Structure 1
Amino acid sequence: MSDHKSDKSHSDVERAATPSSDDHDSHLGVLTVEATHKVYGKYSKCLGLAAYIYSLDGTTTHNYLAFAASFFGNHSLISTIQVAQAVIIAVGKPVIAKIADVGSRGSAYVFVLIFYVVGYIVIASANNIQSVGGGIVVYAVGYTGLQLLTQIIIADITTLKWRGLVSALMSMPFIINAFVGSNIATDIIQGAGWRWGYGMFAILVPAALSPLIITLLWAEWKARKLGIVKQRNSTKSFRHKFFSTVDKLDVVGLVLLGTAVALILLPLTLSRSARSGWKNPSIIAMLVVGIVLLPVYLFWDIKFAKHPVVPRRFLLNRSVVIAADFSNSS
C-alpha cells in the first residue's frame, strides 16, 4: 500500500515538474530548481544562515581595507580598489544569474563559494596592496553572487504574495550586525589583525553555505534519480556541449553588457582623481565607448542571441522598461 502511494506521489511530482512543449527553450537550471522544490523545498533555515554570514561579511570587512593600505603604506589605491570592487559587483550579477539558470542553483553556489574563498585567501596572504586589490576583485564576484543567489532562491520558494516579506526577513541580520559587526571589527583589528579579519571568512563562509549547497545538490540529484529532470545533450560531443553552453550563457551579450557598464561607471568615479578630470582623453573615450556599447548589446540580444541575458519580451515590454527606469532613478 505504501509503495503504491509512493509511486503515485512520484508520478504526481513528475507530471507537475516535467516541462511542457511551451517550456522547450527553458534553461536546465530553471527546470531543475522547479523539480528540486517539488522533491525538497525546505531551504529556509539554510538560507537564513547564508543571509547572516553575508550580512556579517558586509558589516565587518569594509573596515579592514584602510588598515591593510596603511600596513603597506599606500592609501592612494583605496579608492581605485573600491571602484573596481563596485564595478565587479554590478557587472557580476548577470553572469551569476545566467550560470544559475543554465546550470543549477547548487552549482552556482559552488561557483560563488570558490571565488569567495580564493579571494579572501589572496587578501589574507597578500604581500602588497596590489595583491589585496586583486583579492578584493576576486572576492567581489563571490559577494555579489551570494547576494543575488539568495534573492533567486527566495523567488524560487515563495509566491509573489510573500516574496517581499521573505526578502525583508533575509535582510534582518543587517539590523543585528549593525551593532555586532563594529564590535567584531574592532576586536579583530586590535587583536588578530586585518589579515585574520579577512581570512576568517574563508572558513566561516564555506561552513555557513555548506548546509544550503548540500541540500540543493542532494535535491537536484534526487530529482534526476526520480527522472523528474533529464539531462540534455548527454550523448553529444564535447564541442557541441561547449557551444551549446556558450549560446545559453549568451557570452557575447554578457561581455558587451559587462564592458559597457564598466566603461560607464569607471569614468564617473575616476574623473575626480584623473589628470585634467573630464578633459582627460581616456576618461572621455571610456565613457563614449561604454555608451555606444549599450545599443550594440541591445541589438545583439534582440536580433541574434538565442538565449539573451534579458529576454526579448522584457526589453520590448514598456511596463517592464518603465518600472526598471523608475527603480534605477530612485
Structure 2
Amino acid sequence: MAIALFNRIRPRAQVPVVETEKPAQDAEVSATGAAARGSLDEKDPSRFAHSDDDPTEDGETQDGVKGVEAITSVWTKRTLFFVYLMIWVIYFVDTMQQNMSNSLIPYVTSSFGQHSLLGATQIVSSIVGGLIKLPLAKVLDIWGRPQGYFAMVVCLTIGLAMMAGCNNVKTYAAAQVFYWVGYNGLTYTLGIFIADTSKLRNRAFMFAYASSPYLATTWIGGPLAAAFLKGPGWRWGFGAFTIITPVVTLPLSYIFWVNYRKAEKLNMVPKQPSGRTVWQSITHYAVEFDAFGLFLIIAGLALFLLPFSLYSYQANGWRSAMIIAMIVIGGLLCIAFVIWERFYAPKTFIPYKLLADRTVLGACILSASLFVSFYCWNAYFFSFLLVVNGLTITEASYVSNTYSMGSCFWALIVGVLIRYTGRFKWLAVWFGVPVTILGVGLMIHFRQPDTNIGYVVMCQIFIAVAGGTLVICEQMAAMAATTHQYVAVVLALEGMFASVGGAIGSVVAIAVWTSVFPQKLAELLPAGTDVAAVYGDITIQLSYPPGSPERIAINAAYGAAQKCQCIAATAVLVVALGSVLVWRDIKVSDYKQAKGVVI
C-alpha cells in the first residue's frame, strides 16, 4: 500500500534523470525574505555544508566522490534498477542471517557456561563497529566506494567463519568484532550507494525500501535458528552464511567495478600518479585516516566501558586492580584523543565544522540517545521472553523482532510523507520522540512476570512506529545539512554516535543486570540451589518447570532487573527530545546533491 501511494503521488520527474548539481539553499528562511543563497554569516562555521561552491577544505572533490559520480553518469537506467534489486537481496540475506544469529547467541554463550556475558561481547564489537565507519568514510571518499564495500564483505565473511569455529567466549568475542565491523560497514556502504544514486527528496523512501526485507526475514530468523539447533547445530548456522554471504554480495561489487572501468576509458576519472614511495604512501594514508587518533578513541572507550560488565567476575569487584587500571587508562586515552584531535592531528578524525552545525550535531545526539535507550531495554529481552513468558525460540523471535518489522514498515510511510511534504522535522518532534517515550515508559510496568504478552507486544509496536520515524528523520537531517561531498562523513558520524550509544546502553544494562539479577536470585531461590549455575546458563533456567519455586524465583529476578533497565531507557530519552528541537526545518525538495542517472 505504501509503495502504491508513493507511485500515485510522485510526479513524472521521479524517474531516473541526469541531474546537475546546484548550490543547496537553507530552508530556514525568515518571514521577511532576508535569507538567500549567500545569507549565512561568513563567520558561521557550518556555512560550507550548505554550498557546493567549496566542496572540501582544499577546494578539491575527493577521488571516491568523483568516481561514483562518473559511475552514475555512464550506467543505464536498467543497470540502476538492477543495482537496487541487488541491494534489496543483500539486505534480505544479511537481515535473515542477523535475525538467526540473535536467536542463537544465548545458546552460543551458554554452551561455554557464560550466558551472562551475552551483553559483554557486544561492547567492544559495538565500539569498533561504530568507529570503523569514520575511517571507512575516508576509504570511500579517497579510494572509492567499490573498494570499501569489498573490504567489508571480507570482514563480514571472516567474522562468520570465526563464529562457526569458536570454542570459547574469547574467540567468539573476537569473531563478533570482525562480524560487526563487516556488517555495519557493509550496510553503511550500501547506504552511501543509495545516497549517491538518489535525489534527496526521494532518499528517505529509498532508505526505507532497503530496510524492507525485515518485513519478511522477521518470520524466517527464528525458525531457521530452531532448525539449526535441532539439526546440525548452531555452528552450521554461521557456517552456512559464510558461504552464502560472498555469493550474494560480490556481484554488486562487480557491477560498480565494471562501470568504473567504463568511466575510466571515457577519461571521466583520470588517474594521476602520486609519485610517492611505498613508505611515503603508508605515512600519507596513516595521516589521512588519522590512525593514531583512531587507536586512542577505540582503545580508550573499550577500556573505559568494559569494566562495567566485567567487575562482577573479579574477586574484589570494583576494588580489583585490573578494573581500576582499565577505567583510569581508558579515561586518560579518551582525554588524550580530544587533545590530539584539537591541537596535534594533521587530519582530524572528527570534522569539527560538521559537528558545529546544529542539525548535524542534533541528529548525531538523537542517534546516540536512541541507541542508549534501545540497548538498555533490549538487553536480555530475548532471554526474558524464553524464561519468563515461556515462549519458544520461534515465538520469542517474532516478539523481539516486532521493533525491526514495525519500524521498517512504518519507515516506508515516513518516506512517502517526506517525499510529499518536503520536510521531516515535524514528524520527529510531534510523533517520533513522544511515542518512543510512551512505549518505553509503559514497559516499566508491563515487562514483569504474570503480565499478558499482548501488553509487551503493544509496547513494542509503539516503539517500532516511532523508531521507524526517528531513524529516517535523523539520517535525512544529517544529509540535508551538507553536500554530496560530505554525505559519507555525516552518515559515518551518525553511525559512530549510534554505536557508541549502543555500547553505553549495553554497559548500563549489564551493570544493572550483574548487580540486580544475581542478588535477586540469591534472595529468592530455595536453599541449596546452585545460584551461580542458574545465573550463568539459560538452559538451566529453563530446566525448572513453570510454577516451580525455582522458576518463580528466576522469573521475579528477571522482572526486577528488567524494570531497572526500562527506567534507565526511559530517562535517557529526554536528551532525544532536546536534540530534535535544535534542528533547522530544512525543506529537502529544494536540494540537489547526486549527479548522473539517479532515482
Shorter-chain TM-score above 0.5: yes
Q: Are 1:132 and 2:172 an aligned pair?
A: yes
1:160 maps to 200
Looking at structure 2, the residues matched to 266 and 198 of structure 1 have their Cα atoms a distance apart, in angstroms, of 26
Of 111, 119, 130, 1:90 maps to 130
Q: Where in structure 2 are the equivalents of 1:194-205 lying within 5 Å?
A: 194-205=234-245
Of 51, 64, 67, 1:29 maps to 64
Cα displacement (A) at 1:112: 0.9
Looking at structure 2, the residues matched to 316 and 21 of structure 1 have their Cα atoms a distance apart, in angstroms, of 17
Cα contact 1:60–1:184 (8 A) shared by 2: yes
Moved more, 230-239 or 246-255: 230-239
CA displacement, residues 142-198 of structure 1 (integer Å, 9 cap, x when unaligned) = 112112112222222222212222112212111211111111111121112111100
Relative distance call for 1:76 and 1:318 in structure 2 (3 A) is closer
Cα contact 2:150–2:250 (8 A) shared by 1: no
1:231 maps to 271
Given residue 134 of structure 1, which amino acid in structure 2 is its aligned partner?
Answer: A
2:296 maps to 256
1:123 maps to 163
Q: Are 1:51 and 2:91 an aligned pair?
A: yes
Relative distance call for 1:48 and 1:306 in structure 2 (3 A) is farther
Relative distance call for 1:26 and 1:271 in structure 2 (3 A) is farther
Cα displacement (A) at 1:21: 8.6
**Higher relative contact order, structure no. (Cα contacts within 8 Å, ≥ 6 residues apart):** 2
Q: Where in structure 2 are the equivalents of 1:1-330 lying within 5 Å?
A: 23=56, 24-40=59-75, 42=80, 43-75=83-115, 77-329=117-369, 330=576
Cα displacement (A) at 1:300: 3.0
Cα displacement (A) at 1:250: 1.7
Given residue 349 of structure 2, which amino acid in structure 1 is its aligned partner?
Answer: V
The unaligned stretches of length 5 or more in structure 2 are 1-17, 22-51, 370-575, 577-599
Looking at structure 2, the residues matched to 63 and 148 of structure 1 have their Cα atoms a distance apart, in angstroms, of 23
Cα displacement (A) at 1:303: 3.8
Cα contact 1:97–1:148 (8 A) shared by 2: no
Looking at structure 2, the residues matched to 213 and 301 of structure 1 have their Cα atoms a distance apart, in angstroms, of 34
Cα displacement (A) at 1:202: 0.9
Given residue 360 of structure 2, which amino acid in structure 1 is its aligned partner?
Answer: V
SS at 2:132 equivalent: helix
Cα displacement (A) at 1:130: 3.5
Relative distance call for 1:301 and 1:29 in structure 2 (3 A) is farther
Given residue 142 of structure 1, which amino acid in structure 2 is its aligned partner?
Answer: G
Which has the greater radius of gyration? Answer: 2
* TM-score, normalization by structure 1: 0.82
Cα displacement (A) at 1:100: 2.1
Higher percent of residues as helix: 1
Looking at structure 2, the residues matched to 28 and 174 of structure 1 have their Cα atoms a distance apart, in angstroms, of 34
Cα displacement (A) at 1:90: 2.8
Cα contact 2:64–2:140 (8 A) shared by 1: yes
Cα contact 2:123–2:302 (8 A) shared by 1: no
Among all aligned residue pairs of Structure 1 and Structure 2, give the percentage whose two residues are the same amino acid. 28
Looking at structure 2, the residues matched to 124 and 229 of structure 1 have their Cα atoms a distance apart, in angstroms, of 42
Relative distance call for 1:188 and 1:295 in structure 2 (3 A) is same
Looking at structure 1, the residues matched to 340 and 270 of structure 2 have their Cα atoms a distance apart, in angstroms, of 30
Looking at structure 2, the residues matched to 45 and 213 of structure 1 have their Cα atoms a distance apart, in angstroms, of 14
Given residue 179 of structure 1, which amino acid in structure 2 is its aligned partner?
Answer: W
Cα contact 2:99–2:217 (8 A) shared by 1: yes
Relative distance call for 1:318 and 1:50 in structure 2 (3 A) is same
Moved more, 125-134 or 153-162: 125-134
Given residue 85 of structure 1, which amino acid in structure 2 is its aligned partner?
Answer: S
Looking at structure 1, the residues matched to 308 and 232 of structure 2 have their Cα atoms a distance apart, in angstroms, of 37
CA displacement, residues 93-149 of structure 1 (integer Å, 9 cap, x when unaligned) = 223323222221111111111111122222223344443333232222211211211
Cα displacement (A) at 1:68: 3.2
Given residue 62 of structure 2, which amino acid in structure 1 is its aligned partner?
Answer: H
Moved more, 152-161 or 128-137: 128-137
Q: How many pairs were matched up?
A: 315
Relative distance call for 1:293 and 1:135 in structure 2 (3 A) is closer
Cα contact 1:109–1:213 (8 A) shared by 2: yes
SS at 2:348 equivalent: coil
1:8 maps to none
SS at 1:310 equivalent: coil
1:5 maps to none
Looking at structure 2, the residues matched to 156 and 25 of structure 1 have their Cα atoms a distance apart, in angstroms, of 18
